[in-house]
Chains A and B, each alone.
Chain A
Amino acid sequence: MVQFLIRRIFWAFFLFFVATIITYIIFFVIPTDPAQIACGVHCVPAILKQVRHSLHLDLPIYQQYWIFVWNMVKHQSLGYSFVNGASVRWVIGQDAPVTASLVFGGAVFWLALSIPIGILSALRPRSIVDRFAMVFVLVGISAPAVWIGLILAYLIGFKLGWTPIAGYCNLLPGGAAGTCSGPAEWAYHLILPWMTFMFLFAALYVRLIRANVMETMTEDYVRTARAKGASAQRVLFQHVLRNSMLPVVTILGMDIGLALGGAVFTETVFQLRGLGSDLVQSAFKDDLPVVVGVVVFATLAVIVFNFLVDVAYAWLDPRIRLNT
């Protein structure tokens, strides 16, 4: 297991640096002139030269990349926004809790819904429950996040008035003066975004869980367990679910990692200033340091969650350890 972990950690670091190289090259080499963007309005050549020097754009690309990595590792600095001069680390520090709240809360919601429905559909295939579940799956997969979000905001937030229509409150008390905070307000403001996430992802997970459970139910060891007199509940929880959840864990890790990189549509509908929202806005404004920062953070999130999935997978299925 230790060897397995070391190998996975090494690959995580390697992947991270490869991702940063690609990101850096895409965003700092392809655009016309970052110095011109940073220099702003009425930039005269003398100042442009100063800006180019201060951004190290007058150095060879490998040196620029090295400075970028060095600042990131040594000073935990991802640079400063061209648009408003804010530290990118600060921007991510502001955005990440919002997106994380949305994604992790959403994940709890979608798992809480999809696991029971998926299992039930698998246990009673072609029953009324199964058919309803499939309709739900089709609607969830077909409907865009924006549409689901707007419908929820309109029906539950506006018409029924049960939840806030949009906005975010910090989980922990404090934050900027005049802004709301605290666990109750935080959860209250996130109910609709979580439900939006739930509808989007639960549809996929119901389908996935249903298929996996149905497949596992036909395995020899399940039949053996039944033949040995194990109760239906024991067969389901001890033999079927443990094995049928392996692919779910894999997909969950990847989905959470990707969603952390930006749940753009949900954030936009509910006015959440998260990573996705800022990524889109920064891309529109050619604010390259923020774009790079968010992409690097998202890359890190995907790698970390894949790593966790690998570890969880290895723990759940000893064959993985033996084969690597």
Chain B
Amino acid sequence: MRRKHVLSLLMLSMGVALLIAATTVGVASSANAKVSSAKSLKGGVLHVAQSAGSFDTLDPGLAYVTNDWEVLYSTGLNLVNFPNKAGQAGSQLFPEAAKSFPTISKNGTTVTFHLRSGLKFDDGSPVTAASYQRAWERILSPKMYAQYGIFDQLNKMVVGAQAFTDGKTQHISGISAKGLTLTFHLTKPNPTFVSILGMQWFNAVKPSMKYSKVSSGILKYPSAGPYYIATNQPGRTVVLKRNKYYHGPRLANPNEIVINSYPNSNGEAALLQIEKNQLDFDMGGVPADDVAKVAKTYGGPNKGQFHVGGQACIIWEAFNNAKAPTNNVNVRKALNYAIGRTPIIRLLGPYAGSASDQILVKGLPGYKKFSAYGNYPNFAKAKAVGGSALNGAPALNIYYNQASTFRTNEAQFEKAQLAHIGLTANLEPSNPTDYYGPLETKGTDYNIAHSGWCADYFDPFDFINVNFDGRSIQPTGNVDYFYFNNSKFNSMMDHAASLSGTARANAYAALDKTLMTKYAPAFPLYVPTFRYLTAKRVKNVIYSNYFGYPILNAMSVG
């Protein structure tokens, strides 16, 4: 009998200990919540998770993915920037560090900005024109881990930039910084130039900010936006604190923003935490399998805590235009009819996005909705369009990331669809650590590869010229991994790029339609959305379709 008592007492004491621990800390949390609810919307700590991901880098001279830019938007100060406004208004640039939009010379090649006085970094030092000159140098310097500016052809835009990227000069000769006056000398008139400056590469940095040969770049550095990076533990925790010197129009609601990355998590734990108010927001969004349930629980999208926001992106299946059989335009058109967009989107669950068979996306100048191929498979039409090109065509290589369940399912689905029009396919899994390397290497053997493009800046040039200008094709690192090079289309792109205003928008609308109906270099699939849940206490959720996230500095947990 005594032994039984010993065991019972032991179990009882364990249970009591657990309960005491649970209730004491739990009560403390509830008490804090009640106190804070009485305060203003400003204040508090915004707790953010990043499931299934982490930041590549928070160095503005290296960052080139949306989650990195989401943070940099809260820490950086650009000459021109996006306001904290929802919808279309949020994608209209306003002069932030600049007093006004720039003055442009008559020949269109000299662009001059005058900076506001009194702007400061979080360490109290002044923001000057040299801060932006350095930002340009860091994105193009061969002394950096990667010269991402070349992706967007920045090296061709400014006088002396190519020589600088080649390591022949110490500075970009076409950028002059004197006090608060910054002048760019462009190689040719460029109507997109001001839009480009809204990219997070062009955050003000101290002129002394070093170059970095490490992929994570400089971890902490003075910044001039609403927040600064107080802690940056790569792959783990990032803490942003309010910059007391920022007095611009963008919001700085939370006192601190704490972002914990969980690369191995699928987001289920974060979802439960948000529902229990233990977490405010997950940058990984709601796991696809849970979207339907979450939508039902919270009364549908955008009616409370569950949100769905469109992104300025187009997801596509890239075709290799340089390799048989996708080097044949009739095969490419046949694939556009045969694969089917809606069935693939359904693999991602509800509210995943809207089908599209064009390159431009809503919100871009020149976007005009059209549908050339339809959203559902049409095998009869595909066979008719493909004609003899489908007969005896070699097997296609479908390149995909096998680490992703969706990509794997998608590749298998495509293979099955191809069989309906008499084509065979090999599924070619990528190296899990290097998806884009082989894709961007000239001579690659893929025929179909899942990929996509999000707006670097709001201009059709960024979607059409950047991706489909075959003159940019090099041995490696190709943005045009379609290997599409058509001299006639190149000329049309050059012409459209030289226009401005309505003429430019119309020219790009025509280019978008011509590209897809005449050449079909890709299989545009859908415009994705970001599906996310916020905790009950989170207010002032302003979604940016440019970043594809709600704006962190605007969220309120006060």
Residues of A that sit less than 8 Å from B by CB: 37, 40-42, 81-86, 94, 109, 112-113, 116-117, 119-120, 123, 150, 153-154, 157-158, 161-167, 176-179, 184-185, 187-188, 191, 233, 267-271, 273, 277-278, 280-281, 284-286
The closest CB in chain B to the CB of A198 belongs to B14
Can you list 14 A-B pairs with a CB-CB distance of less than 8 A? A40-B145, A41-B146, A86-B216, A86-B235, A112-B10, A112-B14, A116-B6, A153-B269, A166-B272, A167-B260, A268-B265, A271-B260, A281-B264, A284-B432
Interface size range on B against A: 35 or more
Q: Is the CB of A153 within 8 A of B272?
A: yes
Compute the total of residue contacts between A and B using a CB distance below 8 Å.
134
**B3, B214, B241: the one within 8 Å of A84 (CB):** B214
Known contacts A86-B216, A162-B19; is A271 also within 8 Å of B234 by CB? no
* Of B273-281, B297-305, B327-335, B456-464, the one touching chain A: B273-281
Known contacts A158-B275, A280-B264; is A179 also within 8 Å of B258 by CB? yes
B363 at the interface (CB under 8 A from A): no
Nearest CB in chain B: distance from A148 CB, A: 14
**A117, A161, A179, A284: the one within 8 Å of B237 (CB):** A179
Q: Is the CB of A178 within 8 A of B256?
A: yes
Other 4 A-B pairs with CB < 8 A, given A85-B215, A161-B276, A164-B278: A40-B145, A42-B147, A158-B275, A281-B263
* Residue numbers in B under 8 Å from A285 (CB-CB): 433
The closest CB in chain A to the CB of B10 belongs to A116
Question: CA A286 – CA B4 in complex, angstroms?
Answer: 53
**A94, A112, A188, A281: the one within 8 Å of B233 (CB):** A94
Question: CA A83 – CA B234 in complex, angstroms?
Answer: 9
Residues of B that sit less than 8 Å from A by CB: 2-4, 6-7, 10-11, 14, 18-19, 21-26, 45, 49, 57, 145-147, 214-216, 230-231, 233-237, 239, 241, 256, 258, 260, 262-265, 268-270, 272-273, 275-276, 278, 403, 432-433, 437, 476-477
Nearest CB in chain A: distance from B63 CB, A: 13
Question: CA A185 – CA B29 in complex, angstroms?
Answer: 11
Nearest CB in chain A: distance from B387 CB, A: 40
The closest CB in chain B to the CB of A51 belongs to B213
Closest 6 CB pairs of A and B: A85-B214, A84-B234, A84-B216, A162-B22, A166-B269, A178-B258
Known contacts A37-B433, A161-B276; is A185 also within 8 Å of B4 by CB? no
Q: Is the CB of B7 within 8 A of A154?
A: no
Q: Is the CB of A84 within 8 A of B235?
A: yes
The closest CB in chain B to the CB of A264 belongs to B264
* Residue numbers in B under 8 Å from A267 (CB-CB): 264
Nearest CB in chain B: distance from A46 CB, A: 10
* Residue numbers in B under 8 Å from A116 (CB-CB): 6-7, 10-11
Q: Is the CB of B433 within 8 A of A284?
A: yes
* Residue numbers in A under 8 Å from B11 (CB-CB): 113, 116
Nearest CB in chain A: distance from B356 CB, A: 29
* Residue numbers in B under 8 Å from A191 (CB-CB): 18, 21-22
Known contacts A177-B230, A178-B45; is A270 also within 8 Å of B269 by CB? yes
Nearest CB in chain A: distance from B330 CB, A: 35
Q: Is the CB of A40 within 8 A of B215?
A: yes
* Residue numbers in A under 8 Å from B49 (CB-CB): 271
**B14, B235, B237: the one within 8 Å of A281 (CB):** B235
The closest CB in chain B to the CB of A83 belongs to B215
Question: CA A42 – CA B215 in complex, angstroms?
Answer: 12
Q: Is the CB of B264 within 8 A of A179?
A: no
Nearest CB in chain A: distance from B492 CB, A: 29
Q: Is the CB of A42 within 8 A of B22?
A: no
